[in-house]
């Protein structure tokens, strides 16, 4: 069974996107490919067709491989709830909450599970493209590592080591990482890659020659810095803060923001600028304000109050448009109650009061894929017969609607099974919307209606929305072409143990 692992000198060096590129390249070359990351730490998660939770980075890698995302591609997902604690997701389901030390002690318990699962994957796929996390040179974590060299050793995978030249010090980071590895780990590294390069590669060549001489490892290539309409990798999002087009969409950058990929589909629309704000000074006068999801609604709501953004949002809502997603939806309500102290010790917290709902946190986590339709399309300025929606829900709270809350969506399917219930709320003035649906803007009809409403308000001609999925496929092919031309793919195939 062929496999290869991409590790990095640090977080955010481009491991996820290079794994994505290799998945698409191998798939284009006729192989059955599976992405795999034993342990991911991210608040950016996704719900599979069978209602399991996994990291978004492996979702994009699955699409690159021509596969439907499955939780086995990311068997352990850590979702930080504070600087010291996280929620542990194992095989797509909540395992529990733990401190950093408690999880460190749990790792050995998961090792046999990971090995057995990986052995089964090897029977089903031609190539498994693995991704590490952070750096393999975290020497304090080596004895219990299950995601970098520990995982590579467990399944006997060759490793490519990636460094980010855009941050500076790429030669030192590559050599320094190798120096901190054990001899058997150094032997496992079969080559290096320099990522995110800007400039003339010829100027870099003397440095590459010295790198190879010092490290005794071949440099497999230099990947240029690029911008594609693909999801940002975990932890590496460069948040735009500037207005770059006619329609100004501002997103509150919450301290514990989750599922920031909910906004990606908006970024591909003509006339649209998406920027992120964290202070009153950055607020300005947007055409639409979005409050996104969060891993801790109550704590982030309290941050809005202390920063002054809470009162600013209430003031803005009198003349502006607001959309809240998941945790942002809960914040828009009158109250949030936490009787079981799921998120904090605050049993009741005042919300923004822009929607007539109250939310109660329960111990059971909702993780579902849903389909539905807009209940009352007359609430929108559109001639469309039906506005269908799909998305996924990840939340602990249940929101009860008051008398002045108009339901937004009728949900007709959950995880492929028929159902009939409502989701979301729109106010009487059609200016404030809330929904639990992550990925709601991926829906071409819903996105078109929302953006055309904003265009109409500014006197801009209405336009057809672009299908996000089609664009993603084209961008994945562009990514594969770029990386294929940048790397020595003959050598990569040799490392994998297959012929090109």
Position 238 confidence tier, pLDDT thresholds 50, 70, 90: low
pLDDT at 201 over 50: yes
Give the pLDDT band (50/70/90) at residue 233: low
Domains of the chain and any CATH numbers: 2-230+473-496 (3.40.50.300), 247-459 (3.40.50.880)
- What per-residue confidence (pLDDT) applies to 235? 44
Kindly report, residue by residue over 310-343, the tens digit of the pLDDT.
Answer: 999 999 999 999 999 999 999 999 999 999 988 8
Residue 389 parent element (H or E): strand 388-401
Q: What is the pLDDT of residues 102-127, one digit of tens each?
A: 998 899 899 999 999 999 999 999 99
State the DSSP H helix or E strand holding residue 276, giving kind and residue range, or none if neither: strand 272-277
Structure-derived torsion over alpha carbons of residues 470, 368, 394, 262, reported in degrees to the nearest 10: 10
Please report the pLDDT score of residue 348 as a whole number.
Answer: 95
Looking at residue 468, what is its pLDDT? Answer: 86
The predicted pLDDT at position 24 comes to 98
For residue 417, is pLDDT > 50?
yes
Tell me which of 4 and 344 has the higher pLDDT. Answer: 4
Three-state secondary structure along the chain?
A: CEEEEEEECCCCCCHHHHHHHHHHHHHHCCCCEEEECCEEECCCEEECCCCCEEEHHHHHHHHHCCCCCCHHHCCEEEEECCCCEEEEEECCEEEEEEEHHHHHHHHHHHHHHHHHHHHHHHHHCCEEEEECCCCCCCCCCHHHCCCCHHHHHHHCCCEEEEEEHHHCCHHHHHHHHHHCCCHHHHHHEEEEEEEEECCCHHHHHHHHHHHHHHHCCCEEEEEECCCCCCCCCCCCCCCCCCCCCCEEEEEECCCCEECHHHHHHHHCCCCEEEEEECCHHHHCCCCEEEECEECCHHHHHHHHHHHCHHHHHHHHCCCCCEEEECHHHHHCCCEEECCCCCCCCCCEEECCCCCCEEEEEEEEEEEEEEEEEECCHHHCCCCCCCCEEEEEEEEEEEEEECCCCEEEEEEEEECCEEEEEEEEEECCCCCEEEECCECHHHCHHHHHHHHHHHHHHCCCCCCCCCCHHHHHHHHHHHHHHHHHHHECHHHHHHHHCCCC
pLDDT confidence band for 488 (50 / 70 / 90) = very high
Q: Is 438 a catalytic residue?
A: yes
Residue 235 vs residue 39, higher pLDDT: 39
Structure tokens, 257: 């923001």
What per-residue confidence (pLDDT) applies to 386?
84
- The pLDDT of 251-262, averaged and rounded, is 92
Pick the catalytic residue: 23, 34, 86, 438? 438
* Residue-level pLDDT at 236: 46
Catalytic: 86? no
**pLDDT tens digits, one per residue of 266-282:** 999 999 999 999 999 99
Q: Which of 86, 326, 419, 462 is catalytic?
A: 326
pLDDT tens-digit map of 41-96:
998 999 999 999 999 999 999 999 999 999 999 999 999 987 788 999 999 999 99
pLDDT tens, residue by residue, 434-480: 999 999 999 999 999 999 999 999 999 999 998 888 889 999 999 99
Calculate what percentage of the chain has a pLDDT beyond 70.
98
Mean pLDDT of the chain: 94
pLDDT of residue 30: 97
pLDDT number for residue 232: 62
pLDDT in tens, 288-318: 999 999 999 999 999 999 999 999 999 999 9
Portion of the chain with pLDDT greater than 90, in percent: 85
């Amino acid at each position: 069974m062929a496999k290869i692992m991409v590790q990095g000198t640090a977080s955010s060096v481009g491991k996820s996107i290079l794994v994505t590129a290799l998945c698409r390249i191998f798939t284009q070359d006729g192989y059955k490919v599976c992405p795999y990351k034993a342990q991911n730490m991210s608040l950016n998660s996704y719900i599979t067709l069978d209602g399991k939770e996994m990291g978004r980075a492996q979702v994009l890698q699955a699409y690159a491989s021509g596969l439907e995302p499955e939780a086995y591609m990311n068997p352990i997902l850590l979702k930080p709830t504070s600087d010291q604690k996280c929620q542990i997701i194992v095989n797509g389901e909540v395992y529990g909450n733990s401190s950093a030390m408690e999880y460190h002690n749990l790792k050995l318990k998961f090792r046999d599970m990971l090995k057995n699962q990986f052995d089964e994957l090897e029977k089903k796929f031609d190539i498994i493209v693995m991704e590490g996390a952070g750096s393999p040179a975290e020497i304090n974590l080596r004895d219990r590592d299950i995601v970098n060299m520990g995982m590579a050793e467990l399944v006997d995978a060759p490793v490519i080591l990636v460094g980010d030249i855009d941050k500076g010090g790429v030669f030192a980071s590559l050599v320094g990482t190798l120096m901190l590895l054990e001899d058997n780990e150094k032997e496992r590294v079969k080559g290096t890659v320099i990522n995110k390069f800007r400039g003339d590669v010829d100027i870099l060549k003397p440095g590459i020659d010295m790198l190879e001489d010092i490290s005794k490892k071949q440099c497999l290539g230099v990947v240029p810095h690029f911008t594609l309409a693909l999801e940002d990798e975990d932890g590496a999002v460069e948040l735009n803060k500037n207005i770059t087009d006619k329609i100004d969409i501002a997103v509150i950058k919450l301290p514990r923001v989750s599922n920031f990929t909910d906004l990606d589909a908006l970024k591909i629309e003509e006339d649209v600028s998406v920027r992120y704000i964290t202070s009153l000074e950055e607020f300005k006068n947007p055409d639409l304000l979005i409050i996104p999801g969060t891993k801790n609604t109550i704590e982030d709501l309290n941050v809005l109050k202390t920063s002054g953004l809470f009162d600013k949002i209430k003031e803005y809502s009198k003349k502006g448009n607001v959309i809240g997603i998941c945790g942002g939806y809960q914040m828009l309500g009158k109250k949030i109650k936490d009787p079981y102290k799921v998120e904090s010790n605050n049993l009741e917290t005042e919300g923004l009061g822009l929607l007539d709902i109250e939310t109660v946190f329960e111990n059971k986590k909702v993780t579902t894929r849903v389909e539905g339709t807009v209940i009352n399309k007359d609430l929108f300025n559109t001639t469309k017969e039906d506005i269908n929606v799909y998305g996924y829900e990840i939340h602990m709270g249940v929101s009860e609607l008051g008398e002045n809350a108009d339901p937004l969506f009728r949900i007709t399917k959950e995880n492929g099974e028929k159902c009939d219930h409502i989701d979301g709320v729109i106010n009487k003035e059609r200016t404030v919307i809330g929904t639990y649906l992550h990925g709601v803007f991926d829906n071409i009809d819903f996105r078109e209606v929302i953006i055309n409403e904003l265009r109409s308000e500014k006197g801009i001609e209405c336009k057809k929305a672009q299908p996000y999925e089609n664009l993603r496929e084209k961008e994945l092919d562009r990514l594969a072409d770029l990386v294929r031309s940048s790397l020595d793919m003959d050598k990569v195939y040799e490392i994998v143990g297959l012929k090109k």
